[in-house]
Structure 1
Amino acid sequence: MKGTSLVDGWPARALRVLLPARCLLCGARGAEGRDLCGACAEDLALNQPACARCALPLAVTSPLCAACIKVPPPFAAAWAPFRYGHPLDLLEARFKFRADLAAGRVLSHLLVIRAGIDAPTLPDAIVPIPLHRARLRTRGYNQALELARPLAAALGLPLRHDLLVRARATDAQSALDAKARRRNVRGAFALSDDAALPAHVALFDDVMTTGATLREAALTLRRAGVARVDAWALARAP
């Protein structure tokens, strides 16, 4: 799979030629060649306004949220173009847990489109959050890596999936509260052997909930000497 997008490779392109696009959410004809209709696309909530440091959705426009003012996170800025909720959560679950490549392709296209509209400060490289080898064997793919591939290509950035490794297996974050999430990922990441470190990287995950995973990965990179780490995600939970 190296160098080829799981969600937008030649089999997916061939199917789009043979079969008309249909909305994965309601079954209507897809818009703009995507498996998503215009009405369902409008139901996706953009993450605006949001904290510039952690991408937390805000009720009113403000540079930073109260938490980032009080205790700044280890990343310099964050970008998550969508708010995590219905109906984006349905597409995300289909891709992440049911290996629905059509859903992954829709999410990738949405991510690339938003990057063209409100692209953040570009880093030297994009670093997807890695899965532990045991979970990778079970799932068969890393959803963060597959979403990051088209984004990196569209922005003309290196995709450094060789930079970080998941040093130990962790419990699924979805079943844990914020405090338990922080404990769960503590010490979970390590640098690959002889990895060349860019000065500025953007960590990428599919969904940023409490930010615990991205924070721990950012700390690992900062301690290793990366000057600036940003946090990127497809969506940010309220």
Structure 2
Amino acid sequence: MDAGLVDRWRSACRWLLPPRCLICRETGAYGLDLCVNCTQSLPWNHAACVRCGLPLPAPDECGTCLTAPPPVTTTAAVFVYGFPVDRLVPRFKFHQDLAAGRLLADLATGTLGRAPRPDALVPIPLHEGRLRDRGYDQALELARPLARSLSIPLLADRLARLRATAPQSELHAVARQRNVARAFGIAGAGPLPAHVALLDDVMTTGATLHAAARTLLAAGVTRVDAWVIARVP
């Protein structure tokens, strides 16, 4: 369906059916499926490490990144992982609540629109086995509306997940790095854009994003940034 037609359809639905908060079911505010109280509770990540997105008292570079710089140049993390984002992400990621994903993308647009502009947006891909089980790729579902809203080309078919990995949420930090080592590869032929932003829903240690970034850098990309909806402190 044409993107403009989708936007007009959504606007018509909002006019006919006022939005309801996805958290508490109160009337939505500001044209969002989130009420005033839940909107005011959003844990915006206003001050963070510029390299890894870790919340800090003031924007700076954290000690870990100063000592061992990550492969990403910057990380734009919209929220700290807390209420109500910690309710929306699992519903979107594990319970097929695509409305929660659209809301997260809408909320993220302003912050990510102020980040350094990449040549393309690259969602972190799922392995084909997990994609079959889940039925959709949550990073791609976030990337589509963001790419459209920000007028950034979406590059969803060049970064590939080569092997199935254990869920990162079940592993400690060192095991996360081992789990995603050599998990990504480049699909297709032709040069890649010089500057890309990797998009994912939640960043904990950064192991997945960093493994994907190294793959892109090895393939000729000169700058990789990370864009995430939420950063676990």
Q: Deviations over 1:154-175 (max 9, x none)?
A: 2211000011000000010111
Give the aligned partner of residue 66 of structure 1.
63
Q: Give the match for residue 222 of structure 1.
A: 217
Q: Structure 2: how far apart are the matches of 1:172 and 1:141?
A: 16
Q: Contact (CA 8 Å) 1:81, 1:111: kept in 2 or not? A: yes
Q: Indicate yes or no: 2:125 matched with 1:130.
A: yes
* 2:118 is the counterpart of 1:97: no
1:180 to 175, 182, 196: 175
How far off its partner does 1:62 sit?
A: 4.4
Q: In the comparison of the two structures, how many residue pairs are matched?
A: 232
- Taking the TM superposition and a 5 Å limit, the aligned residue runs for 1:13-24 are 15-24=13-22
Mapped contact 1:166–1:188 kept (Cα < 8 A): yes
Shift of 1:9: 6.8
- Which residue of the other structure, out of 52, 55, 80, is the alignment partner of 1:54? 52
Gaps of 5+ in 2: none
Q: Which residue identity is paired with 2:43? A: A
Confirm or deny: 8 A CA contact 1:162 1:195 kept in the other structure: no
The alpha-carbon deviation at position 81 of structure 1 amounts to 1.3
Tell me the distance in 1 between the aligned counterparts of 2:193 and 2:139: 20
Given the superposition, is the C-alpha separation of residues 141 and 183 from structure 1 closer, same or farther in structure 2, using an over 3 Å criterion? same
| Paired amino acid for 1:98 | H
Taking a change above 3 Å as real, the CA distance of residues 9 and 141 of structure 1, as seen in their structure-2 partners, is: farther
User: Quick one: which amino acid aligns to residue 56 of structure 1?
Assistant: L
CA distance in 1, matches of 2:100, 2:10: 11
- Aligned residue number for residue 228 of structure 2: 233
Q: 1:44 to 1:175 in 2, by over 3 A?
A: same
User: Residue 48 of structure 1 aligns to a residue in which SS?
Assistant: coil
3-state SS in 2 of match to 1:190: strand
CA displacement at 1:12 relative to structure 2? 5.4
Matched, 1:163 2:158: yes
**Equivalence for 2:72:** 75
Distance in 2, Cα, partners of 1:151 & 1:27? 25
Match of 1:39 among 30, 37, 40: 37
Identity rate of aligned residues, in percent?
55
TM-score, normalised via structure 1 length: 0.91
* TM-score normalised by the chain length of structure 2: 0.93
Supply the RMSD in Å over aligned alpha carbons: 1.9
- 1:53 is matched by which residue type in structure 2? R
1:135 to partner: Cα distance:
0.5
Distance (whole Å) between structure 2 residues aligned to residue 210 and residue 83 of structure 1? 13
The 4+ residue runs of structure 1 with deviation greater than 3 A are: 8-18
CA change 1:108–1:179 in 2 (3 A) is: same
Deviation (angstroms), 1:10? 7.4
- Would the alpha carbon gap of residues 9 and 179 (structure 1) be closer, same or farther in structure 2, given more than 3 Å must change? farther
AA partner of residue 46 (structure 1): W
Q: Which runs of 5+ in 1 are unaligned?
A: none
Query: 1:191 maps to which residue?
Result: 186
Asked if 1 retains the 8 angstrom alpha-carbon contact of 2:112 and 2:227, the reply is: no
Match of 1:147 in 2: 142
The amino acid of 1:111's aligned partner reads A
- Determine the C-alpha separation between the residues in 1 that align with 2:229 and 2:190: 26
